[in-house]
Structure 1
Amino acid sequence: MSKIRITKQFSFETGHALYGYDGKCRNVHGHSYKLSVCVIGEPITDSDNVKFGMVIDFGDLKKIVKSEIVDQFDHATVFNKNTPHVELAKELKNRGHHVILVEYQPTSENMVVDFAEKIKKYLPEHIKLHSLRLQETESSFAEWFASDQ
């Protein structure tokens, strides 16, 4: 049977700041992120299976990505917890804001690696994560490919 890749796209709004960066992105700002999640597998061949002909139900993929990424990061502000931004994070949390502290500089490059690890944990064994594309702006994105790892 042929291996087939399927892709689902997601959108979410997230703020961040890049501590120590030498440009404007050192300031707190936000993006309308677009995340494309591509998985690979063989379509189900059992005609008695309700998912017959599917690699994975788009709805099942949506549940994973929504739970692990979109619901967590949408309308959150992300800071590296190993920087002085932690003080700002505490203040924002105290004022009721949704803040995520991560172990890394919250660039698109690092976020896409984090997202790949989160998604891979929940995919069925016969489905593999093929690639992710995290678009930060209209013209800027980071990509992760399993084949590069």
Structure 2
Amino acid sequence: MTSFTVSRQISIDAGHRVMTHGSKCRHLHGHRYTIEATCLADHLQDVGEQSDMVFDFGFLKEAMAAEIDAPCDHGFLAHVEDFELLDMFCPETADAIEWIRAIRQAVRQDGHHLTTETRMETKLYVLDVNPTAEQLSRHWFNRLKPVVTARSGGVAKLQEIIVWEPPHCRAAYREP
């Protein structure tokens, strides 16, 4: 069986903490994440602007910018259950319980929530999972998958997302 793949990388800077970690990752810290998306097709496109391609690199860059870079770069990634952390970001003029309740409602509905209505107007991206590299790879996979499918007319499938916590560690997610 013939198959083709294309891959694209972007890098973002983001802070996080892994609230359940038994060691140093429970502390606030940040990474320069490199995210690699790989698309797979059993044949190349045969018409239109993506003719002879699996998926246009520029389209993949646009999708990654919209789904990963714009909401997460130079922001903070947080688990919706990390009450102490969310409380730290709560605007001074807001009631913390109500503010966190609204974020939790949005996360329940969409699996994530982006806000800049925070104490220092910092970008805060709240997830329904702990922001580990493994969970981020699955989250970003699920965000990119429908975009790749739609933009390629169903020819390309998102095969894998790799999240590097440079320079030596990486986690990957791909559907079975």
- TM-score of the aligned structures, taking structure 1 as reference length: 0.90
In 2, Cα distance between the equivalents of 1:40 and 1:55?
7
In 2, Cα distance between the equivalents of 1:111 and 1:89?
21
Q: Any idea what SS the aligned residue of 1:35 has?
A: strand
- In percent, how many aligned pairs have the same letter? 21
Match of 2:158 among 129, 133, 140: 129
In 2, Cα distance between the equivalents of 1:38 and 1:78?
23
In 2, Cα distance between the equivalents of 1:45 and 1:23?
52
Q: Confirm or deny that 1:77 pairs with 2:76.
A: yes
Q: Confirm or deny that 1:119 pairs with 2:118.
A: no
Q: Please provide the CA RMSD for this pair.
A: 1.6
In 2, Cα distance between the equivalents of 1:59 and 1:15?
27
Q: Confirm or deny that 1:8 pairs with 2:8.
A: yes
Q: Who is 2:57 aligned against?
A: 58
Q: How many pairs align? A: 145
- TM-score of the aligned structures, taking structure 2 as reference length: 0.77
Match of 2:123 among 88, 92, 98: 98
Structure 1 unaligned regions, length at least 5: none
Letter of the structure 2 residue corresponding to residue 144 of structure 1: Y
In 2, Cα distance between the equivalents of 1:27 and 1:50?
47
In 2, Cα distance between the equivalents of 1:134 and 1:56?
20
Letter of the structure 2 residue corresponding to residue 101 of structure 1: V
Contact 1:79 1:89 in 2 (8 A): no
Contact 1:33 1:137 in 2 (8 A): yes
Normalized per residue, which structure has more helix? Answer: 2
Q: Who is 1:28 aligned against?
A: 28
Deviation at 1:19, TM superposition (A): 1.0
Letter of the structure 2 residue corresponding to residue 63 of structure 1: E
Structure 2 unaligned regions, length at least 5: 92-116
Deviation at 1:52, TM superposition (A): 2.1
